[in-house]
Amino acid sequence: MKGNLISSILLSISSLFILTAIAIINPSQLQASEQATENGSSVKEETQEAAQAVMEYTAEQKDAAVKKAKELMDDFDAKMDVWESNIKEQWDETKDAAKDAYANSKAAIMEQREELSQWYDKLRESSSEAWEDVQQGFSEAYNNIVESLEKAQDEK
């Protein structure tokens, strides 16, 4: 939990530095950058809210929680497909360094996707005694993978 808070704080500080640098270099771009940061914050909040929704189900509501988790995973997979599709459309014009970054990002995301699948399986199969731990594990894995995809999408 502390790691997520620290990551959020560092992300906010980094965004502030970037916006300041953009304002110094080209003040006319500040407004567009602020909008992009707001959209990024909005996506991050939506992601956290979605993952938190899984946490709100009780052990007795396990079927509904599993269904919500599956929806989150399907939504992520769709976003991943769009990202990969966009990369493939621009592949010929992409520099080798960017291709390497893409390959590394994709490999890391695929590992995280496997971890998310494992947490999903545990969520489906968990006992009421392990319910909260499994919910927490799924939620953290989901937040991590979405964050990784967003970071990869920002790399050009």
- To the nearest 10°, the Cα dihedral for 76, 80, 82, 86? 160
- Residue-wise pLDDT for 39-65, tens only, equals 455 667 777 787 788 889 999 999 999
Which residue segment(s) compose the domain that 50 sits in?
Answer: 2-154
Report the number of distinct structural domains present in the chain: 1
- pTM (2 d.p.): 0.69
Q: Which of 51, 43, 67, 40 is CA-nearest to residue 139?
A: 51
Exposure string for 69-92, b = 16+ CB within 10 A, e = fewer: beebbeebeeebeebeeebeeeee
Residue-wise pLDDT tens digits, 109-154: 999 999 999 999 999 999 999 999 999 999 999 999 999 999 998 8
